[in-house]
Every structure is written in C-alpha cells, then in structure tokens.
C-alpha cells in the first residue's frame, strides 16, 4: 500500500436514480475508504437529492440505496460537504436530509455530525484543496 | 448451481452466494457450512445474524474492517480482531460468513 495518504474528494452532482452515477460513486467511496485513504464527499447541484430522507423507489424499479449513506460513518468517512446554495435553489434545507453521523472511538463512541453545510465559495476552496477529485 | 435445504431448492450464483437474499432461512447456513465441513456454533450465529441485521439496515454487506470493529464493540473487545473472525470462518469472515447469511459478496471484496 502507498505510504502517502492522498486526499480524495468525491463530487456528486446528479440526482440519485435517473442515472447510475450516484450508486457507482457510493460504491467507489466504500471501496476507497476500505483502503485507508482520506476521503471527503461533496454534494452539489442535483446531487443534494441523493441525501434526502424518505426515498421511495419501488415505482422506478430501482433499489433504494439511500440507507447505505448511513454506513459511511462505519467506513470512517467523516467529511460530507453539502452546498448551501444547491439546497436553497431546490427548496431544500438541512432538515430534508438524512442525519449522518460517525462515532469517535477516542471519545467513548460519541456520535458526531458528518454533514457540513458550506457555501459555494467554500466548496470551491474544498475542491481546490483536494489532491484528487472524482466527479460523478 | 442450486443448493437443497429441507427438500427446497435455492438458486445460487457461480460463487455460491444465494441469488435471492429474501429466500434465506437458517437451514441455508447449515447446508453451506456442512459442505465446508464446518460446524456452526453460537459464536458463528452471532456473526451471521449480525451481518443480516447490518444488511437490513444499510443495504450492503460490511467490509471486513468495518465488521471487525463492530464485532469488538458488540460482542467484546477480545472478539474484535481478524484472528477471532478467521478462527470462526477460515475462508474469511466476509466471504464465508456473508455467504452463509445469504448476503451478496461484500463491495470491494475480491
């Protein structure tokens, strides 16, 4: 395994079920996280719909994979950035999204929030600071 | 190649994983383990049942590292290591235990 840990940013821009991008991205994230990389996720544009609560997919005939986002904490993915403007433009707020957490082993498994609401300008800086950006 | 459990046929994929997770019953694990010459104990069932609960909640099978950590938290620190899990499932906790539990092969597991 490589000695240098790189900072990977997975950028999610698309709605969850119209294409396979969202699920593919999530699978790659879970695989990548299993190999001790520094992983962050970003949700912008229609990508913010991926994290919405109460998804029902039976009518579109696809598996509802939204419960899998809650497993990210187990995979030590602790940084999930959601763009504030993208939510607002779609009439959404943080309350419409799942509450994602991770448990801090060093603090007796205290639950901590994974989702960070950031502005468009902050998001640009996050992308700029990543070693590698995977766009889905 | 289908396996037979109590006179009922269960479809499996080419690697022996159950084709339909919803068809699973405990007898599936019994038959699969017998084929591997493994006797299932309560400790094995703890892991199998945990995997099924995990899948039910998150819709994925956990990676070995995730499983190891969770087992340590749930069943005691002495059990939260790969030595313990490989002791129970010599072919690998993810590959063997997930298969017995009727789950698909874990994501990222080669």
Q: Catalytic residue, from B16, B42, B109, B110: name it.
A: B109
Mean of the pLDDT values across residues A14-35? 90
Q: Residue B81 pLDDT > 70, yes or no?
A: yes
- What average pLDDT does this structure show over A10-39? 90
Question: Which among B50, B75, B72 is positioned nearest to B61, based on CA atoms?
Answer: B50
* Confidence at residue B11, expressed as pLDDT on a 0 to 100 scale: 93
Q: In this structure, is residue B105 part of a structural domain? A: no
Nearest residue in A to B63, CA atom: A34
* Beta strands A79-83; A115-118: pairing state: parallel
**Residue whose structure tokens are 């448990």:** A103
User: For residues A82 and A47, what is the distance between their CA atoms, to the nearest angstrom?
Assistant: 9
Q: What is the pLDDT of residues B35-48, one digit of tens each?
A: 999 999 999 999 99
A110 shares contact with chain B (CB less than 8 Å): no
| A132 Cβ under 8 Å from any chain B Cβ | no
**Is A24 near chain B, with CB under 8 Å?**
no
pLDDT band at B2 (very low <50, low <70, confident <90, very high): confident
Q: What is the DSSP string of A11-54?
A: EE-S-TTTSSHHHHHHHHHHHHHTTT-EEEEEE-GGGGGGGBSS
Can you give the CATH number for the domain in which B73 is found? Answer: 1.10.10.370
What is the CB neighbour count within 10 angstroms for residue B85?
Answer: 22
Token digits for A45?
């544009």
Residue B53 resides in a domain: yes
Average pLDDT over residues A17-41: 88
Measured between alpha carbons, how far is residue B62 from residues A62, A105, A130 in Å?
21, 18, 27
Q: Does the residue B20 lie in any domain?
A: yes
Total of domains in chain B: 1
Q: Do A31 and B108 touch (CB under 8 A)?
A: yes
pLDDT at A112: 95
**What is the predicted pLDDT for the residue at B108?**
58
- Å between B98 CA and nearest CA of chain A: 17
Q: Give the tens place of pLDDT for each residue, B45-67.
A: 999 999 999 999 999 998 888 89
B41-74 core/surface letters (b: 16 or more CB in 10 A; e: else)? eeebeebbebbbebbeebbbbbbbbbbbbbbbee
Predicted complex ipTM: 0.83
Closest among A39, A66, A36 to A50, alpha carbons compared:
A66
- Using CA atoms, how far apart are residues B68 and B45, in angstroms rounded to an integer? 15
B98 in active site? no
The alpha carbon of residue A122 is apart from the nearest alpha carbon of chain B, in Å, by: 30
Give domain status of residue B106, yes or no.
no
Q: Is the pTM of this model over 0.90?
A: no
User: Quick check: A2 pLDDT over 60?
Assistant: no
Place of tokens 């939510």: A87
Domains of chain A: residue spans and CATH: 7-135 (3.40.1260.10)
State whether residue B8 is helix, strand or coil. strand
> What value does the mean pLDDT of chain B take?
90
Helical packing angle, B64-75 and B42-58, nearest 10°: 120
Nearest CA in chain B to A36: B65
Query: Helix, strand, or coil here: A102?
Result: strand
A-chain residues near B70 (CB < 8 A): 74
Quote the domain boundaries for residue B30: 3-100
Q: Which residues in B lie closer than 8 A to residue A70 (C-beta atoms)?
A: 57-58
Q: Out of A64, A65, A74, whose CB is closest to B70?
A: A74
Query: Could you tell me if A70 and A62 are in contact, meaning their C-beta atoms sit under 8 angstroms apart?
Result: no
Residues of A in contact with B62 (CB under 8 A): 71, 74
Residues in chain B: 110
Q: Is residue B85 part of a domain?
A: yes
pLDDT at residue number B109: 56
> How does pLDDT run across A63-79, given as a tens digit for each residue?
899 999 999 999 989 99
Asked whether the beta carbons of A49 and A21 are under 8 A apart, the reply is no
């Amino acid at each position: 395994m490589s000695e240098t840990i790189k900072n990977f940013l997975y950028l999610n821009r698309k709605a969850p079920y119209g294409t396979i991008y969202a699920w593919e991205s999530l699978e790659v994230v879970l695989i990548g996280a299993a190999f001790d990389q520094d992983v962050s996720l970003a949700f912008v544009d229609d990508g913010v719909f991926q994290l919405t609560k109460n998804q029902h997919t039976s009518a579109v005939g696809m598996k509802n994979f939204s419960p899998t986002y809650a497993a990210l904490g187990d995979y030590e993915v602790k940084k999930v950035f959601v763009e504030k403007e993208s939510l607002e433009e779609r009439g959404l707020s943080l309350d419409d999204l799942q509450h994602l957490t991770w448990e801090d082993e060093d603090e007796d498994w205290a639950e901590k929030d994974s989702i960070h609401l950031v502005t468009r300008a902050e998001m640009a800086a996050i992308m700029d600071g990543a070693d590698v950006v995977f766009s889905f | 190649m289908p396996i037979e459990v109590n006179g009922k046929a269960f479809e499996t994929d080419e690697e022996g994983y159950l084709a339909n997770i919803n068809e699973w019953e405990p007898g599936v694990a019994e038959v699969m383990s017998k084929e591997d010459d493994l006797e299932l104990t309560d400790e094995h069932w703890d892991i199998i049942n945990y995997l099924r609960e995990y899948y039910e909640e998150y819709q994925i099978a956990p990676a070995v590292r995730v499983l190891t950590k969770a087992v340590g938290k749930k069943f005691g620190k002495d059990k939260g290591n790969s030595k313990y899990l490989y002791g129970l499932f010599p072919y690998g906790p993810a590959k063997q235990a997930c298969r017995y539990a009727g789950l698909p092969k874990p994501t990222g597991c080669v």
